[in-house]
Structures are given as C-alpha cells and as structure tokens.
Structure 1
C-alpha cells in the first residue's frame, strides 16, 4: 500500500475518517489480515484494500505493514486505531445519552473476566451497580487471562479483570490486589490438624491442578522451581469448578486463591490451609486501555470492585488504587 508516486502531502480531512473506513481498519487489525476482515464483515477484500489504500495515499503515511502472514499496524496505524476506538466510545456515549432522553434502558458497561472472577461480581458488585445505575445493563464475558488485553485493545470491553498482568502496550492497571494461594482441602481432611504444610508434602498427595496454560498454574510452576519439587497432578482441568468438585468429593487436594472457594468455605464444605515457609501470591488486576476515559459511571464501578470484590480484598495487604 501507499505507492502512487510516494505522495507526502496530507490531503485527508476529518470528514474522511467516517465510521465505515474506521470499522474496516479496526477489523483488519483485529483479524490480522484484509482477507480475514473481509470474511468477518462480509465485504469484498478488494473494497477494504482500496479504502485503506486511498486513506494511506491521502494521509501520506503508511498505516499497515505487510508481513508473510498478514498485516500489522505501523506507528501511524496504531495512532489511527486509538483514535477510532475513542471515537467509537464517544459515539456510544452520545447514543446512550439519546436513549436516556427517550427513556430507553440501553446503557451498557462491558467487563471481560478471567476464569474465577465473574461469580463475585454477580454476588457482591451487581446488586450495588443496579441500585446506582438502574438504566445500565452490565455485560460480563469470560476469556482466558492471556486474551483480556486483546479484547480491550479491540474495543470489545470497557474494563477487564485478570491475573498477574503481563505488560502490554496500550493497557494499564487501574486497580490491583494480591492474595496468597492456599492448599484447598475438604472439611474433614487430616491436614487441618497440622500447621506446617510445605510444597514437598503436596507432591505425595493426589493433587488437582489447572492446566499448564492457565495463569494461576504458571504461578505454581514458579513455586515448584523455588522449592525444588515437581508436581505430578492426578487431575488437570481447564476450569476452577472441576478442581473444587475434585476436592469436595474427597479424592484429593488442590492449590487455589481463597476467593475462588469462598462460597464453599462459607458453606463449610471446603477449607484453606496456608503454605508454610513459602508463601505464593497471585495478583488480580482491573485493567483498561490507556486511552479509555474514566467517566463517572466507570469510576463508580471501580470503587465497587475495590470495596466489595473478594479478589480485591486481600487478607493482609491493602488494595492498591492506581492513578487514572
């Protein structure tokens, strides 16, 4: 793209940046190719390529860089993508205001959660949010922790909840707290009479762990390295609920943060035991795009999460509210 005698003058105006071309551009970035965007939008690939090529020509800048397996945005392309997402959010904010004037209940707040974090939003945050914002619908979607940043960057959610945030350009943490990972046992387990359980003791027991690609499992791998042990789990699972069921059935033990078994602990069917001499913590982050504007409703939601979500209520350390 961007040939046409290597034009350098800028002739594009703000009116050229209409919703359709910006949608095409964001979809190309999300799909990683013009062909993928064409299939997703049900538009001819040649039409998308022509629109983006014409925009590059009029900007006098290359917006996409071709790679063997698709395209990636250039520096100018990333700036355009940020602009497009902000414009989309502003448009949604205006439409929500119009809906309010019409008495329609169509405001939407979208949260993308890593596994194990959505339940407590429903229990502890949703009732307060509904009371404060009765005309707003809360959308919660579950994704692997590794996918949260991509969802936010593509404009698929307003905020995300994830574990052990990996630095990512364009994403910032606005709220975080750490909790220890504990041994999870059933209510009648003999270890409840002991106070010094170490990693080497776990290796000799039937153990249920999350799959190796799960963010929480990667924290345990760090502990294995530090303690010089290698866990050979009896059961590996993709979801926390399966691990809880394994422990409740009396077949073995697991390792999880306390907040993931809060309901079962309150019901008296599961108990948590701290690891002796080798504490291991997981940090839960609330994240957003760097360019995301913190409007009053989002600020209020962050306050509710900080005050009421169990993953953000560590037993020892305080919650850290990062500057917006």
Structure 2
C-alpha cells in the first residue's frame, strides 16, 4: 500500500521511485500484483503519468483514513509511556492563521497543556485536499462549492467587505457596491483566492473594469497598503476582525449578491471518526468563530 499511495501522490512510477529510493521495476510489480489481487485497474495509464481510476480513488481514500487512525493509536500508545504530546494537525487558508487560529490554539492549550498543534497555512483548495488525503485532522477554509470526499463539520456564510482606512470616503457608508468602488484605488489578492474569484465573476457579469494598484498573493499586505495608501481592499470580516480597530480600518459590507456565495467551513476527512481531543478542539474552534 505504501507504493500504491506513493504513485497516487506522485502521478508516476518514476517519481515515486525517486521519492522512495526504490527501483521503479519493484514498484511496478507491486502495483500490478495489487491490481491483479483486487481484479480491477487502480490507475489509468497515460503517456505523461498515471491517474487514479474510480476504484483507485476509493482505495486511496480508505487507506489514507486508516493510516491516520493507525498513527493516532500509535501516538496514544506512545503517550501512555510518557514524553509524547497529542498533536492536532490543522490546514488553513491564510486569513484564519493571522488571529483566529492562533487565539483558538492558545486558549485551548492553556486548558490542555499536553496537546500540541501543527498548523499548515496554504490555499483554501489545498487545505481541503489535506483533509481529503487525511494529511490534516481539520481544515479551516473558504468554499464556493460543495467539496467532495470531505465532511463539513461547521459552515457559515462569510460576507465580503470593502476595507478602508477610517478617513476614506467609503468608511462612513453603511454598505457599498463594486460599481461604487470604481473611482478609488483598489488593492486585491490574486486569482488563487475565493474573494478574487467572486470579484472576477461579479465584474464580468456587471461589465465592470478595474485596474488594481496592487495585486498580491499575500493578503496581509493589503491591510497595510489600504491604511497607508488610502486604497480599498476586499476581504471577509472574520479573518480581519481583530485588526480593524487596532489598525484604524473600517469594514463596509459589499452589496453585490454574487459576493455572498462564499462560506467559511471547518472540514474533516469523510468516513473518519475524529479522536476525542480533536472533537474537543473542533467545538472550541466553532465557539471562537461564533464569538463577536
């Protein structure tokens, strides 16, 4: 199964051979033996690599879930002898790693000093992929569409806001449309993010054009730029809520309906029963999300 998962992850026997330091012929024989034993192809062979078949996708998901459960049990056995922490693995979109998750982890750790955390910050899509592959216990992410092969533990709509400094003309408004933001300098994240994807959809549908002053793959830079350059940026309120008042920024709701299609989700691996300590942290995290 180790060779099977390596090929599934790498996309080719040659790449898996390089990563495992095992002869490609040995990996190929093991894959062929596994497919013969099951009775169906687990991979679709292409000139540039191998892709999991439907049966392979099902088997890979099952194996990854069970590997995670085995690792959890082994960890519990080791900890029973002392000297090992319980570790909760969290994959997160960038915005949640500024304040929400560090605050939740810190408060949980105070009550559970024997629990450690691994926090991997990545894109929303990659965070979902991490729980799908059982490489993380929980994903905290933004989602525009239902994700397959994951369990949604918690979901809430996350409205997009225009963030400006307190002296900006938009700051005094109760709400604003994208069309009304056109006269102002715009700073925005790149198209790998859900905010940008919704923004592009809205602009295309409404015939709007913008020439951003700043585009970046690091959303943290947008807040400093908006504060200093008298510019507008777009974000969800939850990731930025701790920074707004401290940085002299104001979040104004965006009224365009297409900008309301985004959901904050906490996800886990489908079909896997979360260990008790992860369930406890999940409940704690949901409480922090819901708090003002």
Query: Fold-level match, TM-score > 0.5?
Result: yes
Instruction: Report if the CA contact (8 A) 1:183-1:255 is conserved.
Output: yes
Write the distance in 2 (CA, Å) between the matches of 1:277 and 1:151: 32
Cα distance change on mapping 1:302 and 1:108 into 2, 3 Å: same
**Secondary structure of 2:134's aligned partner:** coil
User: How many residues matched?
Assistant: 291
Q: Report the counterpart of residue 140 of structure 2 in structure 1.
A: 161
Map 1:25-44 → 2, pairs under 5 A: 25-44=4-23
Write the distance in 1 (CA, Å) between the matches of 2:47 and 2:193: 30
2:240 to 246, 256, 261: 261
Instruction: Extract unaligned runs of 5+ from structure 2.
Output: none
Q: Report the counterpart of residue 294 of structure 1 in structure 2.
A: 274
Q: Report the counterpart of residue 99 of structure 2 in structure 1.
A: 120
Question: Is 1:129 the equivalent of 2:108?
Answer: yes
Q: How far does residue 132 in structure 1 lie from its aligned partner after superposition?
A: 4.0
Write the distance in 1 (CA, Å) between the matches of 2:126 and 2:25: 30
1:62 to 19, 33, 41: 41
Q: Report the counterpart of residue 304 of structure 1 in structure 2.
A: 284
Instruction: Report if the CA contact (8 A) 2:161-2:237 is conserved.
Output: yes
Q: How far does residue 211 in structure 1 lie from its aligned partner after superposition?
A: 0.9
Q: How far does residue 28 in structure 1 lie from its aligned partner after superposition?
A: 0.8
Write the distance in 2 (CA, Å) between the matches of 1:123 and 1:155: 22
Instruction: Report if the CA contact (8 A) 2:163-2:250 is conserved.
Output: yes
Write the distance in 1 (CA, Å) between the matches of 2:147 and 2:252: 34
Instruction: Report if the CA contact (8 A) 1:180-1:279 is conserved.
Output: no
TM-score by length of 2: 0.90
Q: What are the Cα deviations for residues 3-41 of structure 1, in whole angstroms up to 9, with x where unaligned?
A: xxxxxxxxxxxxxxxxxxx12111111111111111111
Q: How far does residue 136 in structure 1 lie from its aligned partner after superposition?
A: 2.2
How well do the aligned residues superpose, as a CA RMSD in angstroms? 2.2
Cα distance change on mapping 1:154 and 1:27 into 2, 3 Å: farther
1:197 to 170, 176, 184: 176
1:140 to 115, 119, 132: 119
Q: Report the counterpart of residue 90 of structure 2 in structure 1.
A: 111
Q: Report the counterpart of residue 57 of structure 2 in structure 1.
A: 78
Q: How far does residue 74 in structure 1 lie from its aligned partner after superposition?
A: 2.7
Instruction: Extract unaligned runs of 5+ from structure 1.
Output: 1-21, 316-324
Is 192-201 or 176-185 further displaced after alignment?
A: 192-201
Is 163-172 or 198-207 further displaced after alignment?
A: 163-172
Cα distance change on mapping 1:44 and 1:263 into 2, 3 Å: same
2:213 to 207, 212, 234: 234
- Higher Cα Rg: structure 1 or 2? 1
Q: What are the Cα deviations for residues 188-216 of structure 1, in whole angstroms up to 9, with x where unaligned?
A: 22333344533222111111011122221
Q: How far does residue 226 in structure 1 lie from its aligned partner after superposition?
A: 4.5
Write the distance in 1 (CA, Å) between the matches of 2:34 and 2:253: 59
Q: How far does residue 73 in structure 1 lie from its aligned partner after superposition?
A: 2.3
Q: What are the Cα deviations for residues 247-285 of structure 1, in whole angstroms up to 9, with x where unaligned?
A: 111341111111232232131511112235758333111
Q: Report the counterpart of residue 164 of structure 2 in structure 1.
A: 185
TM-score by length of 1: 0.82
Q: What are the Cα deviations for residues 226-246 of structure 1, in whole angstroms up to 9, with x where unaligned?
A: 443222211111111111111
